[in-house]
Copies of this chain bind each other. A is one copy, B any other.
Amino acid sequence: VPEENRTAPDSPGALPVDRIEAFSDGVFGVALTLLVLDLHVPHGLGSEHAIWDALRGILLSFFDCIINFTFVLTIWINHHYFFHELARGSRVLLWLNGLLLLSVTFLPFPTSMLAEYPNFMAPEAVLSATMLVGCLTWIAMRIYASNRVGLLHRNVSPARHRSVMTRSVVGAGLYAVALVLSFVSANAAMGVQFVTLTMFIAEPEWLCHSAGRGGV
């Protein structure tokens, strides 16, 4: 970008969105690849059979990478759509975005706990709590952005905004349910999490009429 084209900081509180995106993308990239660091080939195996056995042993860690990848990518895609609707940033938005990124970088921890202790309740509780914090931050960002004049692009329709909001609130509610359930039954909590994640990926028509996208 040529120097002449850079916006002069006319109002010190108004920030270009692209650097917030670039910074967030760096953090998302690390969160995506963090669990792959834990895939390790065992040393000193002597036969094909032993290697295949070892591979079978780390299959769970591998599935865990995919689950973590799916979670982080879903959040990133919604992040992508949300910031695409923003005309400019602000200091409060930077802190809310920071809180969201914190929950994203924390995600690999509960998902790797889940791979280690799949039938226990504690990992489910931590994962649900992390996603709940993410969803609530998301709702706060949406409310803040729509109430501050000049942050959202003018052509983002209120209908679209409402539909995205609905989804985020439903998502937060479902993760709250999963959090409570995780103290009763790990499998039930996992089921609710699966449904919620699928909802955010699939975007069913009845929930997101008017092409609403967003929410964690």
| Interfacial residues, chain A to chain B (CB-CB below 8 A) | 1-10, 12-23, 25-34, 36-37, 39, 41, 43, 45, 48, 51-52, 55, 65-66, 69, 73, 76-77, 80-81, 84-85, 87-88, 91, 94-95, 98, 101-102, 105-106, 108-109, 112-113, 116-117, 120-123, 126, 153-156, 160, 201, 211, 213
Q: List 28 A-B contacts (CB under 8 A).
A: A3-B14, A3-B16, A3-B17, A6-B17, A6-B153, A8-B154, A8-B155, A9-B81, A9-B155, A12-B211, A26-B26, A27-B32, A30-B30, A31-B33, A34-B36, A36-B108, A41-B116, A48-B122, A51-B122, A55-B122, A55-B126, A65-B105, A73-B94, A77-B94, A77-B95, A80-B94, A91-B213, A95-B201
**A12 / chain B contacts, CB cutoff of 8 Å:** 81, 160, 211, 213
